[in-house]
Structure 1
């Protein structure tokens, strides 16, 4: 007797297509991937591609989220160059790291984030692993919460948030919700709406917070507002997942930029943290970061760490070596560390100075009647200009200034040579 195996839906679809073609008297092969739809282009990469195709000498690319020096060139930190040379001179091997990465790097990165005097670190209550930069850390955290957080399978993001947050967490198995954050009428923080939404979320919700230099708005809570946020999260038993991509790069001070994370831990929150060294050490292509989670005890930390290893092993087995060695060298050497603190402050100060110059040109040189205080009130690499989509389109088409459709600009793309032109162009489209 014949064993008849039922067709899968995909196989049935292919057969139906083949039969249709044959019935039409044509000979053809239906591709296995014929049903795969064309995906949309990446919004940031699309901006860069359009910028490269433009031949106008005044063109500006304000979409890319990478630091540029005052000549518009990629910047490699001096302390990084020196650390690389020292490592090269040691003729070290290229063996695999362990699943959780370079131990010295992970330890020193955690100390940088939580503070040298952190009780959680002193009591061995922080489970930490090296990650493939901040994106990888977020994915590890999303996967871990999806598997082991017992109260919810949904994470709430600020509105707006970094565009990659939603797909990262959805692909990790979490639903994604929103809470109010940015106030379009003031180009500042909607603290009342934020607190109200956090209060009304189901108890024990997972909430993502930007530790500093909120991307894309550049709007951060004040210390007093962080206190209010912490209290609501504590009252509702929410779990806070911090994304810290800009420590030191936002204000120029690594301790100030880690204030929110340390404040929450000191108040008894058992937070998760994504940490990146892409921006603050300029190690974009080295993909250096950590994921960590504050636990209640050493025993709990060991259990969490064991599951992180099990989670990571089939994802990418173990992380890259070179970038972790560089960061460890910088953080462990007092001379290089001091040089890094000076350099990261210099990068932050240049961005702050460009904010001031842009606002001054708009108000004082071109007499704009709009309120541009938000340019200097916001912080970090990005600024939410408040430009409308039609103004963004005119800025690009008529003035060759490239930015994302939501009006976000990268302040790092501005220099002393083009800031006046940018102000003139913004004034022209907002008059």
Structure 2
């Protein structure tokens, strides 16, 4: 028997039909993400994943970015732990938004650390310091400032020159030796003209000064040149003061704009002033410049992402205008930086006793790195490994370019369970007394075994 109709059967049927039709139309809509292209895999991420899956007892991960101690753990200074605890229990600190350009005291101390307390640029009030989200944030903000305000009389869009290794006299556009993320930061800011200058000479296993000067000498005027102030990442190679003078003279004559990277001041020479000498020299020669600083390695603040962008101007009259534009750009990038790590840095740098203890802690890290380099070189010499290994001790900072080629690195990864990038560069701090012999023997085998 059919159910009796109450007079609304036609309406119910029409409503059900509309619902079905709406459902079908929703199913037919294409997702806005349908054509999303999968990003290229990050070689570092894959390398780390392979290392974690490896069950070999002697495996060693030499591709990390953190500074490690003798136990293989992230290096941390007792002073920083005490300061963090002190800040966390300080009843006078109230939660609230930080200024958009960061903590004033942090900016002041970070600026003094890079330029020196008595810097003429600071005395003449033509320096702007801005707290950023790590050094990558500092590079991005610097790139945005250049795009919007570098030579405002014309549309400036580059070029920006990044360091690269030399390979058969040609410059590679993409190279594993310099992370593409650095080029990507400038490209994301709208600078598509990203070029390369030759920095590393694989034959001499050091800085290719002559080729560096040739490439920058042919760069168009007003080009931006990215320079590692000390201990180029990831080769560890750095310029002497005399070589820096030559580079500075060239930049002055060619009207080039220096953009310094100072990711770990103090970890190259164990001396804050020596590591920042190139930045101070350029400022003393009257050059305007940008400098991206990071406090991750020297303070162990990897999670806090404490960075700083330093802007040295020619005239103090432009300071407030640049400051206002920086504030506007920060508002569109990250609005306001986190203050926790910046408070730690400011507390240490503003207290003479803390400053001495911090300097000593950094110096001990550098001394351990130098000892590892010397012991590795000596082990390779005693094993009779082909070639001269003096470059290992001549480099500085966390990183070392061994000079191994891609096939030799593949041998180390697959046969010896040593994980490092295909460019042969490694993190020196990942080597310790427990794995040093194995690392040296593995490198020797990579050089002497048939591949």
For normalisation by structure 1, the TM-score amounts to: 0.92
Residue aligning to 2:354: 336
Aligned to 1:396: 413
- Alpha-carbon distance in structure 1 between the residues aligned to 2:349 and 2:136: 22
Verify the 8 A CA contact 2:292 2:307 in the aligned structure 1: yes
Cα distance, 1:162 vs structure 2: 4.0
User: CA 1:341–1:165 in 2, change beyond 3 Å: closer, same or farther?
Assistant: same
The residue aligned with 1:414 is: 431
The residue that corresponds to 2:161 in the other structure is 156
- Post-superposition Cα deviations, 1:88-130, rounded to whole Å, max 9, x if no partner, equal 2213222111110000000001000101110101111001110
Separation in structure 2 between the aligned mates of residue 335 and residue 377 of structure 1, nearest angstrom: 32
Residue 132 of structure 1 deviates from its aligned partner by 0.6
| Structure-2 separation of matches of 1:382 and 1:85 | 31
TM-score, normalised on structure 2?
Answer: 0.88
Contact 2:44/2:421 (8 A) holds in 1: yes
1:3 aligns with none
Which residue is equivalent to 2:17? Answer: none
Among 220, 231, 237, the residue aligned to 2:255: 237
Once residues 332 and 146 of structure 2 are traced to their aligned partners in structure 1, the CA distance between those partners, rounded to angstroms, is 17
Indicate the SS of the match to 1:359.
helix
Is 1:349 the equivalent of 2:367? yes
Per-residue CA distance 1:366-406 (angstroms, 9 max, x = gap): 11122211111111111111111111111011110000111
Aligned equivalent of 2:168: none
Is 1:430 matched up with 2:431?
no
RMSD: 1.4
- Aligned residue pairs total 405
| TM-fit CA distance, 1:39 | 1.2
Checking the alignment, whether the CA contact within 8 Å between 2:408 and 2:446 is kept in structure 1 is yes
Unaligned stretches of 5+ in structure 2? Answer: 1-23, 166-177
- Secondary structure in structure 2 of the residue aligned to 1:280: helix
The question of 1:187 aligning with 2:205 is answered yes
Instruction: Report the Cα distance in structure 1 between the residues aligned to 2:301 and 2:185, rounded to whole angstroms.
Output: 21
What is the CA deviation profile of residues 172-208 of structure 1, one whole-angstrom value per residue up to 9, with x for unaligned ones?
A: 1112111111111111111111111111111121111
C-alpha distance after superposition, 1:109-159 (max 9, x if no partner): 100010111010111100111001111000000111011112742211111
Asked if the contact 1:277–1:288 (Cα under 8 Å) also holds between the matched residues in 2, the reply is yes
Q: Residue 251 of structure 1 corresponds to which residue in structure 2?
A: 269
Is 1:286 the equivalent of 2:286?
Answer: no
Residue aligned with 2:303, SS: helix
In structure 2, C-alpha distance between the alignment counterparts of 1:369 and 1:408, rounded to whole Å: 18
SS of equivalent to 2:392: helix
* 1:207-226 deviations in Å (ceiling 9; x for gaps): 11011110111111111000
Greater shift in the superposed pair: 149-158 or 321-330: 149-158
Contact 1:94 / 1:321 at 8 angstroms: preserved in 2? no
SS in 1 for 2:41: coil
Tell me if the contact between 1:213 and 1:379 (Cα under 8 Å) persists in the aligned partners.
yes
Is the contact between residue 62 and residue 411 of structure 1 (CA under 8 Å) also seen in structure 2?
Answer: yes
Taking the aligned partners of 1:306 and 1:119, their CA distance within structure 2 comes to: 23
Q: Which runs of no fewer than 5 residues in structure 1 stay unpaired?
A: 1-21
Measured in 1, the distance between the counterparts of 2:199 and 2:386 equals 26
State the partner residue of 1:99: 100
Larger Rg: 2
Q: Quick one: structure 1 residues 428 and 144, their matched pair in 2 at CA, closer, same or farther if it must change by over 3 Å?
A: same
Contact 2:287/2:314 (<8 A) preserved: no
